[in-house]
Amino acid sequence: MKHFIIFGPPGAGKGTQAKLMVDKYNLRHVSTGDLLRGEIAKQTELGKKAKELIEAGNLVPDEMVVAMIKSEIANHPDVTGFIFDGFPRTTAQAEILDDMLTKLGKKVDSVISIIVDDDLVKERIKHRAMLENRRDDMQDEVITNRIATYHKKTEPIIGYYKKQNKYHEIDGAGTIEDIFKEVCALIDNL
């Protein structure tokens, strides 16, 4: 069983590439955002707590996110692996994920980082916002803040996984198909 992290700035195409990886490699896409929305929609205890926190403008604590991920892994033994999308977002979360997987006798096999410059990220986020009617992502200051947060809080994970020789970069400026060819070449060589 393989465990991948798909990594990159907002608008890099992580979700798109993850869906293609799921289809080709029988992997399970674990999007923390989707898991949270699912728990909230089902009105589980976890969902109720998460909704309360989110509505108050707070982040969902790492323990709650890890509990959801652990449950997702346990409930899908039939897949050949998992793609984590949206977690980890900090080095502390990367350590938590490694610890959780180690306790399950598993590990992160590779971090696939889709590299996209900030101007292209802005373009893509605005385009996606128009397609999906995401009003907040249509505002320049919101997009600029999301990119700044990514650089400040999430990019330090790169060093963490480089030390483990698990970090791999993919050029995200090409077409969806070109990027996926690079992703497949990387996965097939692991």
Specify burial of residue 177 (Cβ count, 10 A radius: 0-12, 13-18, 19+). exposed
β-strands 27-31, 2-7 pairing: unpaired
Pairwise pLDDT comparison (81 vs 128), residue with the higher score: 81
pLDDT higher than 80, residue 77? yes
* Average confidence (pLDDT) over 77-106: 92
Query: Tell me, what's the pLDDT at 183?
Result: 96
pLDDT of residue 82: 96
Between 27 and 66, the more confident residue is 27
For the chain, the domains span 2-116+155-188
- The CATH superfamily holding the domain 2-116+155-188 is P-loop containing nucleotide triphosphate hydrolases (3.40.50.300)
Q: Has residue 102 got a pLDDT over 90?
A: yes
pTM for the model: 0.85
Distance CA 114, CA 126 (A): 18
- Is 70 exceeded by the pLDDT of residue 189? yes
Encode pLDDT of 15-59 as tens digits: 899 999 999 999 999 988 888 888 888 998 888 998 888 777 677
- Tell the burial category of 38 from Cβ atoms under 10 Å away from its Cβ (0-12, 13-18, 19+): middle
Q: State yes or no: pLDDT of 177 exceeds 90.
A: yes
Residues 132-172: pLDDT tens digits? Answer: 887 667 778 878 888 888 888 889 999 999 999 999 999 99
**Tell me, what's the pLDDT at 106?**
93
Q: Residue 81 and residue 72: Cα distance in Å, rounded?
A: 11
Average confidence (pLDDT) over 85-103: 91
Among the ranges given (83-97, 101-115, 119-133), the one the predictor scored with the smallest mean pLDDT: 119-133
